[in-house]
Amino acid sequence: MPRRKDRLPVVLDTNVIISHYLGKKPYSASARIFRLWRYERKLQLIVSSEVTEEYFEVLERVEIAEQRIVRFRKQLQEADIVTHINLGARHAISRDPDDDVLLAIASAGQAQFLITNDHDLLDIPTRQKKRFQFEILTPVEFLRWWDE
């Protein structure tokens, strides 16, 4: 198993988590990213209390089985594959102000990637993205990078 310092630090948008849980294909991009994090332990997931609350709220809203939510909550509490941070300054950059929390998490947690399907984040102009020390990619783009 890779040591913590050898894992790639990432932030997963809620839509990636939900896609994994709702997905019917075990080899979808979101499912593969989840496996890289949870089972292969090659990713270090960076979260804040705000984003974990959102994960659980949306999982409940889309009616994911309670047992699966409880198991995921326990996984997030395993400190060796998850980094919990307190948020610092938030950039008002995304068209959707709710997405700015993900940018703040990625910055504060020194993520290399913010993985999302949200075009409010993906469509941030390149000149603004240059301010970040991380890249914003879709799950498919991330896996292309990973496989190279």
Across the range 105-123, mean pLDDT stands at: 94
Q: What is the pLDDT of residues 38-93, one digit of tens each?
A: 999 999 999 999 999 999 999 999 999 999 999 999 999 876 899 999 876 666 66
Domain hosting residue 20, numbered range: 4-147
Q: Specify whether the CB–CB gap between 116 and 138 falls below 8 A.
A: yes
* Residue 136, beta-bridge partner list: 114
Question: Which domain CATH number covers 127?
Answer: 3.40.50.1010
SS3 8: strand
First-residue to last-residue Cα distance in the chain: 21
As for how many domains the chain has, the answer is 1
Q: Where are the alpha helices (DSSP H) in the chain?
A: 14-22, 29-38, 49-61, 66-77, 100-108, 119-122, 126-129, 139-147
pTM metric for this prediction:
0.92
Q: How large is the average pLDDT for residues 18-41?
A: 92
The confidence score (pLDDT) of residue 25 equals 84
Write out pLDDT tens, residues 93-112.
666 667 888 999 999 999 99
